[in-house]
Homo-oligomer: A and B are copies of this chain.
Protein backbone atom coordinates (compact mmCIF):
# COMPACT_ATOMS: atom_id res chain seq x y z
CA UNK A 1 0.00 0.00 0.00
CA UNK A 2 1.08 3.56 -0.72
CA UNK A 3 2.91 5.43 2.05
CA UNK A 4 1.81 8.92 3.10
CA UNK A 5 4.88 10.49 1.50
CA UNK A 6 4.24 8.61 -1.76
CA UNK A 7 0.67 9.91 -1.68
CA UNK A 8 1.96 13.46 -1.24
CA UNK A 9 4.30 12.98 -4.20
CA UNK A 10 1.48 11.71 -6.42
CA UNK A 11 -0.68 14.68 -5.46
CA UNK A 12 2.23 17.01 -6.15
CA UNK A 13 2.80 15.47 -9.59
CA UNK A 14 -0.89 15.47 -10.51
CA UNK A 15 -1.96 18.98 -9.57
CA UNK A 16 -1.21 21.77 -12.04
CA UNK A 17 -1.00 25.30 -10.70
CA UNK A 18 -4.10 27.35 -11.56
CA UNK A 19 -3.97 30.14 -14.14
CA UNK A 20 -3.12 33.61 -12.98
CA UNK A 21 -5.72 36.37 -12.75
CA UNK A 22 -5.78 40.03 -11.84
CA UNK A 23 -7.98 41.23 -8.96
CA UNK A 24 -8.48 44.47 -7.02
CA UNK A 25 -6.04 44.66 -4.13
CA UNK A 26 -8.97 44.59 -1.69
CA UNK A 27 -9.67 41.00 -2.83
CA UNK A 28 -6.07 39.80 -2.72
CA UNK A 29 -5.55 39.20 1.01
CA UNK A 30 -4.81 35.54 1.64
CA UNK A 31 -4.07 34.76 -1.99
CA UNK A 32 -0.69 33.97 -3.56
CA UNK A 33 1.12 36.58 -5.64
CA UNK A 34 1.67 35.43 -9.23
CA UNK A 35 4.55 37.77 -9.98
CA UNK A 36 7.38 39.69 -8.40
CA UNK A 37 6.31 43.20 -7.46
CA UNK A 38 9.02 45.81 -7.90
CA UNK A 39 8.99 49.17 -6.21
CA UNK A 40 8.59 52.02 -8.71
CA UNK A 41 9.52 54.72 -6.24
CA UNK A 42 11.49 55.61 -3.18
CA UNK A 43 9.77 55.58 0.18
CA UNK A 44 9.45 58.07 1.59
CA UNK A 45 9.44 59.99 -1.71
CA UNK A 46 10.90 63.02 0.07
CA UNK A 47 12.67 63.74 3.33
CA UNK A 48 9.85 63.54 5.79
CA UNK A 49 9.04 64.75 9.31
CA UNK A 50 8.61 61.94 11.84
CA UNK A 51 7.18 64.28 14.50
CA UNK A 52 4.97 67.31 14.77
CA UNK A 53 7.38 70.19 15.33
CA UNK A 54 9.77 72.52 13.56
CA UNK A 55 12.13 71.80 10.68
CA UNK A 56 15.52 73.28 11.49
CA UNK A 57 19.22 73.23 10.60
CA UNK A 58 21.14 71.58 13.45
CA UNK A 59 24.02 74.02 12.88
CA UNK A 60 21.75 76.80 14.13
CA UNK A 61 21.01 75.24 17.51
CA UNK A 62 23.05 76.46 20.43
CA UNK A 63 22.20 77.76 23.89
CA UNK A 64 19.61 80.54 23.88
CA UNK A 65 19.25 80.54 20.11
CA UNK A 66 16.01 81.88 18.68
CA UNK A 67 14.80 80.96 15.19
CA UNK A 68 12.40 82.90 13.01
CA UNK A 69 9.32 80.90 11.88
CA UNK A 70 9.00 81.61 8.15
CA UNK A 71 6.27 79.10 7.20
CA UNK A 72 3.77 76.63 8.70
CA UNK A 73 3.04 73.47 6.66
CA UNK A 74 0.04 71.25 7.31
CA UNK A 75 -0.41 67.72 5.98
CA UNK A 76 -0.90 67.72 2.23
CA UNK A 77 0.81 71.08 1.80
CA UNK A 78 4.21 71.43 0.18
CA UNK A 79 6.86 73.75 1.65
CA UNK A 80 7.21 76.97 -0.33
CA UNK A 81 10.30 78.28 1.47
CA UNK A 82 13.77 76.82 2.01
CA UNK A 83 15.43 76.95 5.39
CA UNK A 84 17.94 79.76 5.59
CA UNK A 85 20.30 80.23 8.54
CA UNK A 86 18.35 81.26 11.64
CA UNK A 87 14.94 80.14 10.37
CA UNK A 88 12.49 77.34 11.20
CA UNK A 89 9.39 75.99 9.46
CA UNK A 90 6.56 74.34 11.38
CA UNK A 91 5.75 70.85 10.08
CA UNK A 92 3.37 68.06 10.93
CA UNK A 93 4.17 64.37 11.16
CA UNK A 94 4.49 63.01 7.65
CA UNK A 95 5.07 66.40 6.02
CA UNK A 96 7.63 66.94 3.27
CA UNK A 97 10.58 68.80 4.78
CA UNK A 98 11.78 72.06 3.29
CA UNK A 99 15.13 72.11 1.48
CA UNK A 100 17.96 72.67 3.96
CA UNK A 101 16.31 70.79 6.86
CA UNK A 102 18.47 68.27 8.67
CA UNK A 103 16.38 67.70 11.82
CA UNK A 104 12.94 68.25 13.32
CA UNK A 105 12.53 69.58 16.84
CA UNK A 106 9.45 68.14 18.53
CA UNK A 107 6.74 70.64 19.35
CA UNK A 108 7.03 69.54 23.00
CA UNK A 109 10.61 70.86 23.02
CA UNK A 110 9.69 74.29 21.63
CA UNK A 111 8.88 77.29 23.81
CA UNK A 112 6.17 79.64 22.47
CA UNK A 113 5.34 77.55 19.35
CA UNK A 114 2.58 80.01 18.39
CA UNK A 115 4.95 82.96 18.04
CA UNK A 116 6.97 84.09 15.03
CA UNK A 117 10.17 83.51 16.93
CA UNK A 118 10.77 80.30 18.82
CA UNK A 119 13.30 79.00 21.29
CA UNK A 120 13.88 75.57 22.72
CA UNK A 121 13.97 73.57 25.91
CA UNK A 122 16.85 71.49 24.52
CA UNK A 123 20.30 72.75 23.69
CA UNK A 124 21.40 70.28 21.03
CA UNK A 125 20.01 67.94 18.44
CA UNK A 126 21.86 65.58 16.14
CA UNK A 127 21.47 65.73 12.35
CA UNK A 128 18.79 63.35 11.07
CA UNK A 129 16.76 63.48 14.30
CA UNK A 130 13.02 62.98 13.62
CA UNK A 131 13.72 62.95 9.89
CA UNK A 132 13.15 60.02 7.56
CA UNK A 133 15.31 60.38 4.49
CA UNK A 134 14.05 59.80 0.97
CA UNK A 135 14.35 56.07 0.11
CA UNK A 136 15.23 55.06 3.66
CA UNK A 137 12.43 52.49 3.87
CA UNK A 138 12.31 51.39 0.23
CA UNK A 139 14.24 52.12 -2.92
CA UNK A 140 13.02 52.19 -6.48
CA UNK A 141 13.68 48.86 -8.25
CA UNK A 142 13.60 46.70 -5.13
CA UNK A 143 11.55 43.45 -5.20
CA UNK A 144 9.05 43.99 -2.40
CA UNK A 145 6.72 41.03 -2.98
CA UNK A 146 8.07 37.78 -4.40
CA UNK A 147 6.18 35.61 -6.86
CA UNK A 148 4.65 32.70 -4.95
CA UNK A 149 4.33 34.59 -1.67
CA UNK A 150 1.01 34.46 0.21
CA UNK A 151 -0.27 38.01 0.63
CA UNK A 152 -1.02 38.78 4.26
CA UNK A 153 -2.02 42.23 5.49
CA UNK A 154 1.50 43.67 5.90
CA UNK A 155 2.20 43.09 2.18
CA UNK A 156 -1.32 44.22 1.23
CA UNK A 157 -0.59 47.48 3.07
CA UNK A 158 2.69 47.89 1.22
CA UNK A 159 1.06 47.21 -2.16
CA UNK A 160 -1.54 49.87 -1.29
CA UNK A 161 1.23 52.34 -0.46
CA UNK A 162 2.78 51.52 -3.85
CA UNK A 163 -0.52 52.15 -5.61
CA UNK A 164 -0.89 48.58 -6.82
CA UNK A 165 -4.66 48.74 -6.76
CA UNK A 166 -4.77 45.59 -8.93
CA UNK A 167 -2.51 42.60 -8.44
CA UNK A 168 -1.81 39.32 -10.23
CA UNK A 169 -2.66 36.37 -8.05
CA UNK A 170 -3.45 32.69 -8.22
CA UNK A 171 -7.24 32.69 -7.78
CA UNK A 172 -8.91 30.86 -4.96
CA UNK A 173 -9.88 27.40 -6.21
CA UNK A 174 -13.53 26.35 -6.24
CA UNK A 175 -14.33 23.40 -3.99
CA UNK A 176 -17.49 21.28 -3.97
CA UNK A 177 -18.36 18.91 -1.14
CA UNK A 178 -20.57 15.86 -1.76
CA UNK A 179 -21.49 13.37 0.93
CA UNK A 180 -22.56 9.92 -0.24
CA UNK A 181 -24.47 7.17 1.53
CA UNK A 182 -27.94 5.72 2.04
CA UNK A 183 -27.49 6.02 5.80
CA UNK A 184 -27.22 9.82 5.79
CA UNK A 185 -29.91 12.32 6.78
CA UNK A 186 -29.54 16.13 6.75
CA UNK A 187 -28.24 17.53 10.04
CA UNK A 188 -31.56 19.12 10.97
CA UNK A 189 -33.36 15.75 10.84
CA UNK A 190 -33.56 13.03 13.45
CA UNK A 191 -31.86 9.88 12.18
CA UNK A 192 -34.06 6.78 12.01
CA UNK A 193 -32.74 3.36 12.97
CA UNK A 194 -29.34 2.75 11.36
CA UNK A 195 -29.12 6.30 10.06
CA UNK A 196 -26.65 9.06 10.90
CA UNK A 197 -26.58 12.78 10.27
CA UNK A 198 -24.52 14.12 7.37
CA UNK A 199 -22.04 15.85 9.65
CA UNK A 200 -19.15 15.41 7.22
CA UNK A 201 -20.57 17.94 4.81
CA UNK A 202 -20.75 20.67 7.46
CA UNK A 203 -17.32 19.66 8.75
CA UNK A 204 -15.58 19.64 5.37
CA UNK A 205 -17.06 23.00 4.36
CA UNK A 206 -15.86 24.55 7.64
CA UNK A 207 -12.50 22.83 7.32
CA UNK A 208 -11.84 24.06 3.78
CA UNK A 209 -12.96 27.55 4.75
CA UNK A 210 -10.58 27.39 7.71
CA UNK A 211 -7.87 26.94 5.05
CA UNK A 212 -9.00 30.21 3.48
CA UNK A 213 -11.01 28.72 0.59
CA UNK A 214 -14.78 28.86 0.04
CA UNK A 215 -16.50 25.48 -0.29
CA UNK A 216 -19.96 24.73 -1.72
CA UNK A 217 -21.97 21.81 -0.30
CA UNK A 218 -23.87 19.73 -2.88
CA UNK A 219 -26.04 17.76 -0.44
CA UNK A 220 -26.32 13.99 -0.18
CA UNK A 221 -25.93 11.52 -3.04
CA UNK A 222 -27.46 8.10 -2.47
CA UNK A 223 -25.64 4.81 -3.08
CA UNK A 224 -27.20 4.56 -6.52
CA UNK A 225 -25.36 4.98 -9.82
CA UNK A 226 -27.76 7.57 -11.28
CA UNK A 227 -27.91 9.73 -8.19
CA UNK A 228 -24.14 9.60 -7.73
CA UNK A 229 -23.59 10.42 -11.41
CA UNK A 230 -25.84 13.50 -11.46
CA UNK A 231 -24.40 14.93 -8.22
CA UNK A 232 -20.84 14.20 -9.31
CA UNK A 233 -21.35 15.88 -12.69
CA UNK A 234 -22.16 19.11 -10.85
CA UNK A 235 -19.19 18.68 -8.55
CA UNK A 236 -16.79 18.03 -11.42
CA UNK A 237 -17.30 21.60 -12.63
CA UNK A 238 -15.26 22.80 -9.63
CA UNK A 239 -11.48 22.71 -9.26
CA UNK A 240 -11.88 20.21 -6.42
CA UNK A 241 -14.59 17.71 -5.62
CA UNK A 242 -14.47 16.32 -2.10
CA UNK A 243 -16.53 13.16 -1.70
CA UNK A 244 -17.24 11.76 1.70
CA UNK A 245 -17.95 8.04 2.04
CA UNK A 246 -18.25 5.27 -0.50
CA UNK A 247 -14.57 4.46 -0.95
CA UNK A 248 -13.91 1.62 1.49
CA UNK A 249 -14.47 -2.03 0.63
CA UNK A 250 -18.22 -2.23 1.35
CA UNK A 251 -20.84 -3.77 -0.90
CA UNK A 252 -22.26 -0.42 -2.00
CA UNK A 253 -19.02 1.47 -2.46
CA UNK A 254 -19.83 2.52 -6.00
CA UNK A 255 -17.94 5.79 -5.93
CA UNK A 256 -14.76 4.75 -7.77
CA UNK A 257 -16.62 3.06 -10.61
CA UNK A 258 -19.04 5.95 -11.20
CA UNK A 259 -16.10 8.37 -11.14
CA UNK A 260 -14.38 6.27 -13.82
CA UNK A 261 -17.49 6.50 -16.03
CA UNK A 262 -17.31 10.28 -15.72
CA UNK A 263 -13.72 10.36 -16.94
CA UNK A 264 -12.05 10.67 -13.56
CA UNK A 265 -8.76 8.77 -13.57
CA UNK A 266 -7.71 7.15 -10.35
CA UNK A 267 -4.29 8.30 -9.10
CA UNK A 268 -4.31 6.30 -5.90
CA UNK A 269 -6.62 4.39 -3.60
CA UNK A 270 -5.67 3.54 -0.01
CA UNK A 271 -2.77 4.90 1.95
CA UNK A 272 -0.87 3.16 4.74
CA UNK A 273 -2.08 5.38 7.58
CA UNK A 274 -4.61 5.53 10.40
CA UNK A 275 -7.21 6.92 10.34
CA UNK A 276 -7.92 7.47 6.64
CA UNK A 277 -6.65 4.32 4.96
CA UNK A 278 -9.46 4.10 2.34
CA UNK A 279 -8.69 7.56 0.85
CA UNK A 280 -9.08 7.79 -2.94
CA UNK A 281 -7.58 10.45 -5.20
CA UNK A 282 -8.06 11.06 -8.90
CA UNK A 283 -8.27 13.66 -11.62
CA UNK A 284 -10.61 14.49 -14.47
CA UNK A 285 -8.15 16.13 -16.85
CA UNK A 286 -8.99 19.27 -18.78
CA UNK A 287 -10.59 18.34 -22.11
CA UNK A 288 -12.71 19.78 -24.90
CA UNK A 289 -15.65 20.37 -22.55
CA UNK A 290 -13.73 21.35 -19.43
CA UNK A 291 -11.10 24.05 -19.59
CA UNK A 292 -9.67 23.09 -16.22
CA UNK A 293 -8.96 19.76 -14.53
CA UNK A 294 -11.02 18.68 -11.54
CA UNK A 295 -9.19 16.95 -8.68
CA UNK A 296 -11.30 14.47 -6.78
CA UNK A 297 -10.75 13.26 -3.25
CA UNK A 298 -12.82 10.33 -2.05
CA UNK A 299 -12.61 10.81 1.71
CA UNK A 300 -13.53 7.98 4.07
CA UNK A 301 -16.97 8.19 5.68
CA UNK A 302 -15.79 7.97 9.27
CA UNK A 303 -15.71 11.57 10.47
CA UNK A 304 -12.23 11.67 11.96
CA UNK A 305 -10.79 9.80 8.95
CA UNK A 306 -12.34 12.41 6.71
CA UNK A 307 -11.08 15.21 8.94
CA UNK A 308 -7.50 13.92 9.04
CA UNK A 309 -7.35 13.26 5.28
CA UNK A 310 -8.71 16.74 4.61
CA UNK A 311 -6.09 18.35 6.86
CA UNK A 312 -3.26 16.31 5.43
CA UNK A 313 -4.02 15.80 1.74
CA UNK A 314 -6.71 18.29 0.74
CA UNK A 315 -4.93 21.23 2.36
CA UNK A 316 -1.72 20.16 0.65
CA UNK A 317 -3.56 19.97 -2.68
CA UNK A 318 -5.06 23.45 -2.10
CA UNK A 319 -1.53 24.74 -1.61
CA UNK A 320 -0.31 22.97 -4.74
CA UNK A 321 -2.95 24.49 -7.00
CA UNK A 322 -1.73 27.85 -5.68
CA UNK A 323 1.76 26.80 -6.77
CA UNK A 324 3.15 26.78 -3.24
CA UNK A 325 6.22 24.63 -2.91
CA UNK A 326 7.04 21.20 -1.61
CA UNK A 327 5.72 19.05 1.13
CA UNK A 328 3.25 20.08 3.85
CA UNK A 329 4.16 23.39 5.37
CA UNK A 330 1.89 22.77 8.31
CA UNK A 331 4.14 20.19 9.96
CA UNK A 332 5.84 21.32 13.18
CA UNK A 333 7.79 19.83 16.01
CA UNK A 334 6.42 19.73 19.54
CA UNK A 335 7.31 18.23 22.89
CA UNK A 336 5.08 15.28 23.80
CA UNK A 337 3.47 15.80 27.22
CA UNK A 338 2.54 12.22 28.00
CA UNK A 339 3.74 8.75 27.08
CA UNK A 340 1.88 7.08 24.23
CA UNK A 341 1.77 3.54 22.90
CA UNK A 342 1.15 3.08 19.16
CA UNK A 343 -1.11 0.17 18.28
CA UNK A 344 -1.09 -1.54 14.90
CA UNK A 345 1.36 -1.34 12.02
CA UNK A 346 0.26 1.92 10.41
CA UNK A 347 1.48 5.47 11.11
CA UNK A 348 -1.20 7.12 13.26
CA UNK A 349 -2.28 10.76 12.94
CA UNK A 350 -3.56 11.15 16.48
CA UNK A 351 -5.83 14.06 17.54
CA UNK A 352 -4.01 16.22 20.05
CA UNK A 353 -4.08 19.46 21.96
CA UNK A 354 -1.16 21.60 20.81
CA UNK A 355 -0.24 24.48 23.08
CA UNK A 356 2.48 27.04 23.63
CA UNK A 357 4.33 26.46 26.87
CA UNK A 358 6.82 29.26 27.39
CA UNK A 359 8.71 29.31 24.05
CA UNK A 360 8.09 25.63 23.33
CA UNK A 361 5.32 23.95 21.40
CA UNK A 362 3.87 21.02 23.33
CA UNK A 363 1.38 18.33 22.32
CA UNK A 364 -0.97 16.18 24.41
CA UNK A 365 -2.97 13.36 22.81
CA UNK A 366 -6.69 13.76 23.53
CA UNK A 367 -8.85 10.91 24.81
CA UNK A 368 -9.86 9.33 21.50
CA UNK A 369 -11.20 5.91 20.62
CA UNK A 370 -10.87 5.90 16.85
CA UNK A 371 -12.02 7.19 13.51
CA UNK A 372 -15.70 7.34 14.47
CA UNK A 373 -14.99 9.27 17.68
CA UNK A 374 -15.74 12.83 16.64
CA UNK A 375 -16.40 13.79 20.25
CA UNK A 376 -12.82 12.94 21.20
CA UNK A 377 -11.33 14.64 18.14
CA UNK A 378 -13.44 17.75 18.75
CA UNK A 379 -11.25 18.51 21.78
CA UNK A 380 -8.15 18.57 19.56
CA UNK A 381 -6.64 21.50 17.68
CA UNK A 382 -4.14 19.41 15.77
CA UNK A 383 -2.62 15.97 15.46
CA UNK A 384 0.55 14.10 16.33
CA UNK A 385 2.20 11.62 13.97
CA UNK A 386 3.00 8.40 15.83
CA UNK A 387 5.04 5.98 13.74
CA UNK A 388 4.80 2.32 14.76
CA UNK A 389 7.89 1.16 16.66
CA UNK A 390 8.81 -1.32 19.35
CA UNK A 391 8.96 1.08 22.29
CA UNK A 392 6.33 3.40 23.73
CA UNK A 393 6.66 7.11 22.90
CA UNK A 394 8.04 8.75 26.02
CA UNK A 395 6.95 11.94 27.74
CA UNK A 396 9.14 14.86 26.55
CA UNK A 397 10.09 13.28 23.23
CA UNK A 398 9.97 15.66 20.26
CA UNK A 399 7.25 14.60 17.82
CA UNK A 400 5.88 15.80 14.48
CA UNK A 401 2.60 17.69 14.78
CA UNK A 402 0.14 19.33 12.41
CA UNK A 403 -1.99 22.15 13.67
CA UNK A 404 -5.61 22.16 12.51
CA UNK A 405 -6.62 25.52 13.88
CA UNK A 406 -5.23 28.55 15.64
CA UNK A 407 -3.16 27.45 18.62
CA UNK A 408 -4.11 29.51 21.68
Binding site for B on A (CB under 8 A): 25-26, 29, 39, 43-45, 48, 50, 52, 72-78, 90, 92-96, 107, 132, 136-138, 142, 144, 152-165, 181-184, 186-191, 193-203, 205-207, 209-210, 217, 223, 248-252, 301-303, 307, 329, 332-335, 356, 358-362, 369-381, 398, 404-406, 408
A152-B210 CB under 8 A given contacts A203-B160, A333-B356, A359-B361: yes
Residues of B within 8 A of A302 (CB): 93-94
Q: How far is the CB of A33 from chain B (nearest CB, A)?
A: 12
* Measured CA separation A373–B358 after assembly (Å): 30
CB distance from A15 to the nearest CB of B (A): 20
* A72 nearest in chain B by CB position: B251
- Given A157-B374, A163-B189; A25-B94 close (CB under 8 Å): no
Report which of B96, B162, B371, B408 forms a contact with A194, defined as CB distance below 8 A: B96
Interface core residue of A78, A138, A375 (most chain B CB under 10 Å):
A375
Q: Can you list 20 A-B contacts with CB-CB less than 8 angstroms, sorted by A residue number?
A: A26-B202, A29-B209, A94-B183, A96-B193, A96-B194, A132-B370, A136-B373, A137-B373, A142-B375, A152-B206, A154-B377, A157-B378, A160-B197, A161-B303, A163-B188, A165-B187, A329-B408, A334-B359, A359-B360, A360-B361
Closest A-B pairs by Cβ, 6 of them = A157-B203, A76-B183, A160-B199, A165-B188, A138-B375, A76-B182
* A157 / chain B contacts, CB cutoff of 8 Å: 199-200, 202-203, 206, 303, 307, 374, 378
The complex is assembled from copies of this chain, and their number is 2
Q: Which of A29, A358, A359, A370 has the most chain B CB atoms closer than 10 A to its own CB? A: A359
Q: Is the CB of A369 within 8 A of B136?
A: yes
- Expressed in whole angstroms, the minimum distance between the Cβ of A244 and any Cβ of chain B is 11
CB distance from A4 to the nearest CB of B (A): 20
Q: Are A372 and B50 in contact (CB under 8 A)?
A: yes
Q: Is the CB of A369 within 8 A of B203?
A: no
Q: Are A405 and B153 in contact (CB under 8 A)?
A: yes
Give chain B residues whose Cβ lies under 8 Å from the Cβ of A164: 187
CB-contact partner of A93 in B26, B163, B301, B375, under 8 A: B301
Q: Is the CB of B358 within 8 A of A398?
A: yes
Q: How far, in whole Å, are A205 and B302 apart by their CA atoms in the complex?
A: 39
**CB-CB under 8 A for A43 and B358, given A26-B205, A76-B194, A161-B197:** no
